[in-house]
């Protein structure tokens, strides 16, 4: 009977001890907790806003906070340190990081693997379970003010740009390159020659493809004007000035294959060109004073293929871009025929050779220009 009585009270004593221990432990642990206030709070591996993010904690989750942040003494000491070390805004800015955060703006916690990590103080509400709750109100966040909430407000507007809208490009370039014609095969002996510099003006109007949601593919049309002139001098005091000119149009296809940041990109393009007007004007003069002049025109429509690369420096001024690039143009061999018979046959070749024969053209050009993108 006595043994049963002692055993009964021993059991009650153990139960009360465990109950008090659990309450004490729970109270102690509760003071080392905080609740996440933002949609997705990042945990950093160092007290630095630019440090590596090792985990993200959802809003409302209770996390462990180092006990030192709950003691008034520590808070008061930190206030004294802050007063001494951050006397002016200029001094404070110099000691803080680029984003205005310093080590004192972080709480110490642990990630899921038990590693020490850091969380911003303004994203956590400490749980005191006493009167301090009234002295330390939790900041309020919503979808507009939460820096971690990137969700789109609903309902979504009908015209919301889920994909990049179609855009239009228009550019104008000037360029120069290699010559693209052969000269007339005169039968007189050549004494000297003077070559001109080819010049080219190009206008293109393009629109992004409907199937492309990233705005990388563009289709449109291109207009080309180019020309140059050469001078030939012969031993019999005659001379010839050959003026070359071309006007062409064609479809245009491009692809922005590489981008550096937001304002630098490289584009590949190709364009088949039909030269509607492709001619050489030959002005032949004779005599010691070269006053005897005859003008003849040789023409031939041809189809060529252009391909090249463009560098774009975007938003040079608002929607105005700077562009530069190079291209290669391949043209078929062709024979340019005279539009009329010569009135002075002695100056020209016989009928079968009274033309300009061009071999396969392989021309290189460079260009610079301005582009508007809307």
DSSP 103: G
Give the bridge partners for 320, in sequence order: 317, 372
CA-based R_g, the chain, Å: 41
Q: What are phi and psi of 281, to 5 degrees?
A: -100, 120
Return the half-sphere exposure (C-beta side, CA atoms, 13 A cut-off) of residue 49.
Answer: 14
Tokens of 103: 């080590």
Domain boundaries in the chain?
22-135, 168-373
Lowest mean pLDDT among 52-66, 147-161, 196-210, 355-369: 147-161
- Quick check: 133 pLDDT over 60? yes
Looking at per-residue pLDDT, the higher value among 278 and 161 belongs to: 278
Lowest mean pLDDT among 36-40, 47-51, 337-341, 364-368: 337-341
- Quick check: 156 pLDDT over 80? no
| Residue 257, helix vs strand vs coil | strand
Q: What are phi and psi of 128, to 5 degrees?
A: -90, -35
pLDDT in tens, 340-364: 887 777 677 777 788 888 888 889 9
Cα separation, 216 vs 311, whole angstroms = 14
Cα separation, 335 vs 355, whole angstroms = 7
**Strand pairing category for 292-299 and 334-338:** antiparallel
* Architecture category of domain 22-135 in CATH: Roll (2.30)
Tokens of 71: 């003691």
Cα separation, 43 vs 56, whole angstroms = 6
Question: Using CB atoms within 10 A of its CB, is residue 173 exposed (0-12), middle (13-18) or buried (19+)?
Answer: buried
End-to-end CA distance of the chain, in Å? 98
DSSP codes of every residue in 76-89:
HHHHHHHHHH--SH
Asked if 283 and 244 count as a contact pair (C-beta separation under 8 A), the reply is: no
Q: Is 100 left (phi over 0), alpha (psi -120 to 50) or beta?
A: left
| Residue 128, helix vs strand vs coil | coil
pLDDT in tens, 202-241: 999 999 888 877 788 999 999 999 999 988 888 877 788 8
Q: What is the pTM of this model?
A: 0.57
Give the bridge partners for 296, in sequence order: 282
In the predicted model, what is the mean pLDDT of residues 112-118? 91
Asked if 373 and 206 count as a contact pair (C-beta separation under 8 A), the reply is: no
Give the bridge partners for 259, in sequence order: 265
Q: What is the CATH number of domain 168-373?
A: 2.40.160
Lowest mean pLDDT among 151-155, 200-204, 230-234, 250-254: 151-155
Q: What is the pLDDT of residue 308?
A: 96
Q: What are phi and psi of 103, to 5 degrees?
A: -60, -30
Whether 22-135 shares its CATH topology with 168-373 is answered no
Cα separation, 228 vs 365, whole angstroms = 14
Q: What is the pLDDT of residue 326?
A: 95
């Amino acid at each position: 009977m006595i043994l049963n009585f002692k055993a009964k009270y021993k059991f009650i004593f153990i139960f009360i001890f465990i109950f008090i221990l659990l309450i004490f432990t729970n109270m102690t642990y509760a003071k080392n907790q905080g609740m996440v206030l933002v949609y997705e709070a990042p945990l950093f591996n160092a007290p630095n806003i630019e440090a590596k993010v090792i985990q993200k904690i959802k809003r409302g989750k209770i996390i462990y906070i180092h006990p030192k942040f709950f003691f008034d003494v520590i808070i008061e000491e930190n206030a004294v340190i802050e007063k001494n070390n951050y006397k002016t805004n200029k001094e404070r800015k110099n000691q803080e990081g680029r984003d205005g955060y310093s080590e004192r703006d972080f709480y110490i916690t642990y990630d899921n693997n038990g590693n020490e990590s850091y969380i911003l103080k303004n994203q956590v509400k400490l749980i005191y379970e006493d009167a301090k709750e009234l002295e330390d109100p939790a900041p309020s966040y919503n979808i507009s003010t939460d820096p971690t909430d990137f969700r789109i407000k609903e309902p979504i507007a009908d015209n919301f740009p889920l994909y990049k809208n179609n855009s239009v490009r228009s550019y104008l370039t000037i360029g120069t390159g290699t010559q693209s014609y052969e000269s007339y095969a005169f039968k007189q002996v050549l004494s000297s020659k003077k070559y001109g510099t080819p010049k080219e003006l190009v206008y293109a109007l393009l629109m992004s493809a409907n199937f492309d949601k990233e705005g990388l593919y563009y289709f449109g049309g291109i207009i080309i004007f180019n020309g140059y002139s050469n001078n030939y001098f012969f031993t019999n005091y005659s001379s010839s000035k050959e003026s070359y000119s071309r006007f062409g149009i064609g479809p245009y296809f491009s692809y922005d294959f590489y981008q550096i940041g937001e304002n630098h990109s490289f584009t590949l393009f190709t364009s088949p060109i039909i030269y509607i007007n492709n001619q050489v004007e030959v002005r032949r003069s004779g005599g010691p004073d070269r006053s005897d002049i005859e003008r003849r025109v040789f023409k031939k429509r041809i189809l060529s293929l252009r391909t090249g690369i463009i560098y774009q420096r975007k938003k040079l001024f608002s929607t105005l871009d700077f562009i530069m690039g190079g291209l290669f143009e391949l043209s078929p061999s062709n024979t340019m025929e005279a539009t009329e018979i010569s009135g002075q046959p002695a100056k020209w070749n016989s009928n079968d050779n009274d033309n300009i024969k061009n071999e396969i053209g392989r021309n290189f050009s460079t260009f610079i220009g301005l582009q508007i993108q809307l």
